[in-house]
Each structure stands twice: as C-alpha cells, then as structure tokens.
Chains A and B, each alone.
Chain A
Amino acid sequence: MAKEKELSQPMPPIGLWAPAVALGWLIPGGGHFLLKRTGRGILLLAAVTGMFLCGLMMRGAMFTPQSGDLLTTLINTGGFVGDVFSGILYLLSVWLGYNQPDQAGHVHDYGTKFLVTAGLLNILAMVDAYEIAARRKD
C-alpha cells in the first residue's frame, strides 16, 4: 500500500529539486548545504572526499569510456560514469593532470575502486538531496 502511494506521487517541479541535485553533484554534500542540512552535508562531504582522496593517494586509475566486447564497454563506461559523479573532485584531478595508468597490485586496484565508489556514494547523496528537496523526507 505504502509502495503504491510512493509510486503514484507526481514528479515535483524541476525548479524545486534541480539546484540541490546539481550542487550535490558538483560538491559532495552541496545539495544538503543548500537545503540547510549542514550536519549531514559535512558528513557526506567528508566521506566522499575522503574516499576520493584515498583513491588518488593509492594511485588508482580513472576510467575512460572504451568500446569493444560487452564486458569491456560495461566496465569502462560504468567506471567512467562512477568517476564523473564525484563532481568537482574528478574535474579538478583531471584538469590538474592526474593520469595514472592501470597497474598491477592490490593498492592500485583498491585505489581505482575507491575513486569509482566515491562517485557512486555521491549519487546516493544526490538522491537523498532530491528526496529532501521534493519534501519526501526530512
């Protein structure tokens, strides 16, 4: 019943949630800051930035979209999307010339996963900012 009610909720006007979601993409936790959820914004900023910086310090590789067989396309495009969702962290590191080749070794491998996961966690933060902006949660 509750699920049906959730599904039947109309889409809120874009002007209500787009600024929070866009700022949330650019600056992790930014959407929460805009919506005056400062404490949660600080935690999200610290966690996503911490994850991303650890990934950089472990010399993780950034994904670039590649075509080829299905698995190659899926991994590289999915990884690229994950990287890009870190927002300003990704943009700054690319603009400042971070270009780590993919190397063998568990530390580099963890680094690559940390970089992608930082973006994926930021997607969760953006969804949360959307729900707060749309008044679906506090």
Chain B
Amino acid sequence: MPKMNLSHFEAALLFSLFTSVVLGVVTKSTDRERIEYGVYTFVCFLVALFGLGWLMYLGHG
C-alpha cells in the first residue's frame, strides 16, 4: 500500500470533497438539488478552512 504524505491543506481539501459528495447525495430529493447542496457544502468547508486558518495565524501574532 503506497504511503500518502499530504499537507494540512491537502488533507482537509480531500476530506471536504468526500464529505460533500456524500452529504449532497443523501440529503436532497432531486439531482439538481443534490448537486447544488454538494457544491454548497464544499464551499462552506473551504470558507471554514480558510477562516479558521487565518484566525489561528492572526491569533498566534
């Protein structure tokens, strides 16, 4: 089994992608709504990722 060596950002991005796909698939009732919700969830993950990243950076001074 090959070994993966990802940065924090890459790992969090991959996590967001897989989670958004599942949340999109299981949550809504039409295909269009599912795609929209999946994209929305992914964008929310990204906003949280960058937001928290900056918050920690600024918090450290």
A residues near B, CB below 8 A? 40, 43-44, 46-48, 50-51, 54, 56-59, 106-107, 110, 113-114, 117-118, 121, 124-125, 127-128, 137-138
Cβ contact within 8 Å between A58 and B4? yes
Cβ contact within 8 Å between A59 and B15? no
Q: B58 at the A/B interface (Cβ < 8 Å)?
A: no
Contacts of B25 in A (CB 8 A): 40, 43-44, 47, 125, 128
Please report the C-alpha to C-alpha distance between residue A44 and residue B11 in the assembled complex, in whole angstroms: 19
Q: B48 at the A/B interface (Cβ < 8 Å)?
A: no
B residues near A, CB below 8 A? 1-6, 8, 11, 14-15, 18-19, 21-23, 25-26, 29
Q: Name which of B4, B5, B25 has the most chain A CB atoms within 10 A of its CB.
A: B25
Please report the C-alpha to C-alpha distance between residue A83 and residue B26 in the assembled complex, in whole angstroms: 20
Question: How far is the CB of A135 from the nearest CB of chain B, in Å?
Answer: 13
Please report the C-alpha to C-alpha distance between residue A127 and residue B2 in the assembled complex, in whole angstroms: 33
Cβ contact within 8 Å between B6 and A59? no
In the complex, the chain B residue whose C-beta lies closest to that of A59 is B3
In the complex, the chain B residue whose C-beta lies closest to that of A40 is B25
Contact of B26 among A54, A59, A114, A125 (CB under 8 A): A125
Contact of A54 among B8, B14, B22 (CB under 8 A): B14
Cβ contact within 8 Å between B15 and A114? yes
Contacts of B14 in A (CB 8 A): 54
